[in-house]
Amino acid sequence: MVVGDASLDIDTLVIGAGPGGYVAAIRAAQLGQSVLCVDKEYVGGVCLNVGCIPSKALISASHQYESISHADAFGITASDVKVDWSKVQEFKSGIVKKLTGGVGSLFKANKVQFFSGEVMFINENEARVFNDQEAPRYRFKNCIIATGSRPIELKAFPYGNRIISSTGALSLPELPKSVIVIGGGYIGIELGQMFSKFGTKVTVIEGGDSILPGFDKDMSSLVVKKLKGTKVDIVTGALAQSAEQTDNDVTLTYKVGDKEEKVTADYLLVTVGRRPNTDGDLGLELANITVGERGLIEVDDQCRTSNKNVYAIGDIIAGPALAHKAMYEGRVAAEAISGLPSVIDYKCVPAVCFSDPECASVGYTEKDAKDKGHNVKVGKFPFAINGRAMSLNAAEGFVKLVADADSGLVLGAHIVGMEASNMIAELGLAIEMGATLEDIALTIHAHPTLGEIVLDAAEVALGHPIHTVLK
């Protein structure tokens, strides 16, 4: 390893090349800064390589398989439908390769330097970057930390051949015949449902009283119905106790109340949350950076840490561990460094679960709005009487709008159904710009589309729906 004694100068050092880091690096470069981005694993971070993108590729493949297998609803008969798991994995890997290569090209186009290695702070404005070949020292004017997070590993369930994290679940060498999932949050449900669509026997063990606790129960109940349709066993109020592994399977012992139960499967998938990557050898204390509760770095409304020249974004600061939140914060931090008046505003951070049906929310729930003192008005419209939803054989779900009854201001939106993940963007914009129910109702939506359900929900809230009768 070659170690440089003299410090090299850089305007902005970005630690981490995930969604938050690469966006921050590119935006900072666009604003005229010389930028070095460092990542110890890969360009694109967890999201592009072992998270959001590969999981959605597998989920999409499972939808295709299910659709073909049940095409008789459209009058189409398909026989001898098979899954070639190796080709499914090739499809997933091909998408990852294209996207990570794309980020690398964007770095070159924006003159962002990339270093494959690790970082350790030396003091408040210097850091050593290093790998097996070299270890140059950099003096930076500003730094953005975007080191992300990793799956929480429980002591009772250490990761191995048969006990796996979400990362391991995405790269299994074969399609398992059975999987146990500990955790009924969005990661566990997305991956569990994906496997079940491919024919895997899935058992979900959830400690709470329902799955998808971040969403309205009216929404999660539709997902539960679909899960049971693919013969997924959901055990709520359950506490995982221990696991016994063999070369071929794993047996989980869990308790529901005082009753002990056992279930055996090919794999045990543990999805109980993620841990911020702030506990390594980064040397945060040498840079005078305060780490608060649960390993999260404390920041102000521009993502600035206790060191005024160092910023932190993404999963290592407070808030949900979402790639789009990290991207947003990356832009804010890069612009703040450049002297722009950018500040974080979390009013419109959407939450999405790529379950079947999809769940998406933005803004206030009905309870949140009431707790904030609003006189609340709600408009709810089902997919079942929308022409496009019927033509897609996707009549499950609804759009629910939460608004201030006095002003008509849209405060929140909740969608469960096909394409909810795409439909929620319109309502995030509505809340961001201060739109009213009337603004939505007067916006011409193309026909026939799923987006019309948003218009119909607004008209329900206003009291004059065209496509349903108020009760």
CATH number at residue 212: 3.50.50.60
Identify residue 340 by its one-letter amino acid code.
L
pLDDT tens for each residue of 125-169: 999 999 999 999 999 999 999 999 999 999 999 999 999 999 999
Cross-strand partners of 312: 145
In a domain, 351, yes or no: no
Q: Residue 386: which of 303, 305, 445, 322 has the closest Cα? A: 445
220, 250 Cβ separation under 8 angstroms? no
Quick one: 390 and 428 in the same domain?
yes
Instruction: Consult the annotation and say whether 295 binds a ligand.
Output: no
In a domain, 471, yes or no: no
Share of the chain above pLDDT 90, in %: 97
Enter the tokens of residue 169: 């679940």
The 8-class DSSP code of residue 346 comes to G
Enter the tokens of residue 424: 């929620």
pLDDT of res. 293:
84
pLDDT tens for each residue of 331-371: 999 999 999 999 999 999 999 999 999 999 999 999 999 99
Instruction: Consult the annotation and say whether 4 binds a ligand.
Output: no
In a domain, 318, yes or no: yes
Quick one: 85 and 180 in the same domain?
no
Q: List the domain range (segments joined by +) for residue 385.
A: 357-462
Instruction: Consult the annotation and say whether 443 binds a ligand.
Output: no
How far apart, in whole angstroms, are the C-alpha atoms of residue 359 and residue 426?
15
As a whole number, the mean pLDDT across the chain is: 96
* Chosen domain end from 255, 272, 289: 272
Alpha helices in 292-350 (DSSP H): 323-337
pLDDT of res. 241:
97
Instruction: Consult the annotation and say whether 408 binds a ligand.
Output: no
For the domain that residue 395 is a member of, what is the CATH number?
3.30.390.30
pLDDT tens for each residue of 205-232: 999 999 999 999 999 999 999 999 999 9
In a domain, 118, yes or no: yes
Cross-strand partners of 7: 137
Number of separate domains in the chain: 3
- Diameter over CA atoms, the chain: 77
Quick one: 103 and 6 in the same domain?
yes
* Chosen domain end from 272, 304, 320: 272
In a domain, 254, yes or no: yes
How far apart, in whole angstroms, are the C-alpha atoms of residue 263 and residue 244?
11
**CB contact set of 292 (below 8 Å; sequence gap of 6+):** 298
Quick one: 257 and 333 in the same domain?
no
How far apart, in whole angstroms, are the C-alpha atoms of residue 8 and residue 129?
11
Quick one: 169 and 316 in the same domain?
no
Instruction: Consult the annotation and say whether 148 binds a ligand.
Output: yes
How far apart, in whole angstroms, are the C-alpha atoms of residue 331 and residue 184?
32
Quick one: 144 and 279 in the same domain?
yes
379, 457 Cβ separation under 8 angstroms? yes
Q: Is the pLDDT of residue 5 over 90?
A: no
Instruction: Consult the annotation and say whether 439 binds a ligand.
Output: no
Quick one: 288 and 364 in the same domain?
no
**CB contact set of 110 (below 8 Å; sequence gap of 6+):** 25, 26, 29, 30
In a domain, 71, yes or no: yes
Q: Is the pLDDT of residue 262 over 90?
A: yes
pLDDT tens for each residue of 72-106: 999 999 999 999 999 999 999 999 999 999 999 99
**Among this protein's residues, is 63 annotated catalytic?**
no
Quick one: 21 and 137 in the same domain?
yes
Enter the tokens of residue 55: 């999981």
Instruction: Consult the annotation and say whether 356 binds a ligand.
Output: no
The 8-class DSSP code of residue 113 comes to E
* Chosen domain end from 240, 272, 304: 272
Instruction: Consult the annotation and say whether 182 binds a ligand.
Output: no
How far apart, in whole angstroms, are the C-alpha atoms of residue 54 and residue 93?
7
In a domain, 309, yes or no: yes
In a domain, 336, yes or no: yes
Q: Is the pLDDT of residue 4 over 60?
A: no
- What does residue 150 show for φ and ψ, rounded to 5 degrees? -140, 160
Of 445, 447, 464, 467, the active-site residue reads 447
Instruction: Consult the annotation and say whether 190 binds a ligand.
Output: yes
Instruction: Consult the annotation and say whether 183 binds a ligand.
Output: yes
Quick one: 253 and 309 in the same domain?
no
pLDDT of res. 23:
98
Give the strand pairing for 201-205 and 178-182: parallel
Quick one: 266 and 279 in the same domain?
no
pLDDT of res. 400:
98
Residue 52 pLDDT class (50, 70, 90 cuts): very high
> What is the pLDDT averaged over residues 171-184?
97
The 8-class DSSP code of residue 304 comes to B
The 8-class DSSP code of residue 446 comes to P
Helix (H, G, I), strand (E, B) or coil at 373: coil
How far apart, in whole angstroms, are the C-alpha atoms of residue 433 and residue 443?
14
How far apart, in whole angstroms, are the C-alpha atoms of residue 159 and residue 164?
5
Quick one: 330 and 369 in the same domain?
no
pLDDT of res. 471:
80
Share of the chain above pLDDT 70, in %: 99
How far apart, in whole angstroms, are the C-alpha atoms of residue 256 and residue 311?
44
Quick one: 263 and 290 in the same domain?
no
Instruction: Consult the annotation and say whether 387 binds a ligand.
Output: no
